[in-house]
Amino acid sequence: MAGNKGVAYIGPGKVEVQDIPYPKLELQDGPGVNPANIGRKTEHGVILKVVTSNICGSDQHMVRGRTTAPENLVLGHEITGEVIECGRDVEFIKVGDVCSVPFNIACGRCRNCKEGKTGICLNVNPARPGAAYGYVDMGGWVGGQAEYVMVPYADWNLLKFPDRDQAMEKIRDLTMLSDIFPTGFHGCVTAGVKPGSTVYIAGAGPVGIAAAVGAQLLGAAVVIVADLVESRLAQARSFGCETVDISKGDPKDQIEQILGVPEVDCGVDAVGFEARGHGEGSGKEAPATVLNSLMEITAAGGAVGIPGLYVTGDPGGIDEAAKVGALSLSLGTGWAKSLSFTTGQCPVMKYNRGLMMAILHDKVQIAKAVNATVIPLDQAPQGYADFDSGAAKKYVLDPHGMVA
């Protein structure tokens, strides 16, 4: 039997590449695996040889020790791979297919899946709706920052690329379909972005940059991206975005300088619960800052998309309320302005095929926008450290040296 290596969370600030079990078509016991999932048969699944698996900001929350993730949890929910083994019940996916794996695991059979709400599948996580690979409280499905990984419900979950050679030529772009491109796009769709919209995106990390690309695809007139890190703001400007440096004061003042009015049609939170204050308080954690700011600067009757991650367990929260995800929101502002809010996991399958077609037909260059940077699996710990320092890059792990 082949060996396997994967990137595991060891403790706050530390990951390492370990020897891990080769995947089986059955869920095994291990770090974070829900006891009710142990022994679960997955003959509807496949084994993938991982072509690429990306480091995500959501992974970084765990690695910083800001969740209840257990030690030795194998990370990685952004996966693209080649099928090398099919379970007995897989009918349409074949050995040799190169596919994108939506980060949210879905059965395709429950009420939510049938309604397109694949981020909150009812059958894959005994603890609560929704599951993901290599993520805390998400059922214990082993992550894909590894050489090999098992994907369940393969006929339903996998997005097969039409042509292998074309896919490998565009793999840096296509690898973004597993999470950040659909997630950023979802943030814009739920914020109501349409042709002519003015859009404010809080956060110039990979999801924020992906949201900006998504806003442009949707026809936005002006896309404004905000962050504290100048290199990330420069990345946003590199493909036509306006930018706001929140260390220099209230975003609405800078928005007014750009648009002539201190508000936008649509707001997107691509930061999440580790948000920091604006202006003089920009170095201090203030988890409700982005949401409250978005309510203030989004025009009455507008909408706020919230792809940024919020959790119910944060050991590093700034106070007892923040440790359980209870934030001091100015909900009265949102109510008074009749704002709409959409939170939660992006239902990747709602968008990934359309975005794939945009990539394959050269309508978008998402890899260039997020500054995709390919590194071997054994450099993952350094990739995590560099990403944590604010590097304006999206790190793509290449376990088998398959990326040209």
pLDDT tens per residue across span 214-271: 999 999 999 999 999 999 999 999 999 999 999 998 899 999 999 999 999 999 999 9
Residue 71: is its pLDDT beyond 90?
yes
Q: 292 and 192, same structural domain? A: yes
Continuous H helices in 337-379: 352-360, 366-370
Confidence of residue 57 (pLDDT cuts 50, 70, 90): very high
Residue 321: is its pLDDT beyond 70?
yes
What is the per-residue pLDDT for 300? 98
Q: 219 and 153, same structural domain? A: no
Cα-to-chain-centroid distance, residue 55: 9
CA distance 80 to 2: 19
What is the per-residue pLDDT for 276? 87
In CATH, what number is assigned to the domain containing residue 337? 3.40.50.720
Q: 84 and 17, same structural domain? A: yes
Q: What is the pTM of this model?
A: 0.96
What is the per-residue pLDDT for 1? 53
CA distance 376 to 400: 8
30-53: average pLDDT: 95
The separation between the first and the last C-alpha atoms of the chain, rounded to the nearest angstrom, is 27
Q: 300 and 189, same structural domain? A: yes
Q: What is the pLDDT of residues 16-25, one digit of tens each?
A: 999 999 999 9
In CATH, what number is assigned to the domain containing residue 170? 3.90.180.10
CA distance 108 to 96: 23
Of 278, 44, 131, 398, the residue nearest 291 (C-alpha): 278
Confidence of residue 193 (pLDDT cuts 50, 70, 90): very high
Q: 363 and 327, same structural domain? A: no
Residue 403 lies in a domain: no
- Between 318 and 133, the higher pLDDT residue: 133
Q: 244 and 96, same structural domain? A: no
Host domain of residue 146? 5-179+347-397
73-77: average pLDDT: 97
Q: 377 and 335, same structural domain? A: no
Residue 185: is its pLDDT beyond 60?
yes
Element (H, E) at 302: strand 298-305
Q: 96 and 68, same structural domain? A: yes
Confidence of residue 285 (pLDDT cuts 50, 70, 90): confident
Q: 83 and 172, same structural domain? A: yes
- What is the tally of structural domains in the chain? 2
379-389: average pLDDT: 96
Continuous H helices in 42-160: 57-63, 111-114, 154-157
Element (H, E) at 251: helix 251-259
- Tokens matching residue 151: 């994907």
**What is the phi-psi region of residue 65: left when phi exceeds 0, alpha when psi lies from -120 to 50, beta otherwise?**
left
Confidence of residue 382 (pLDDT cuts 50, 70, 90): very high
Residue 404 lies in a domain: no
156-165: average pLDDT: 98
* Degrees, nearest 5: CA angle 60-77-350: 120
CA distance 250 to 200: 13
Mean pLDDT of the chain: 96
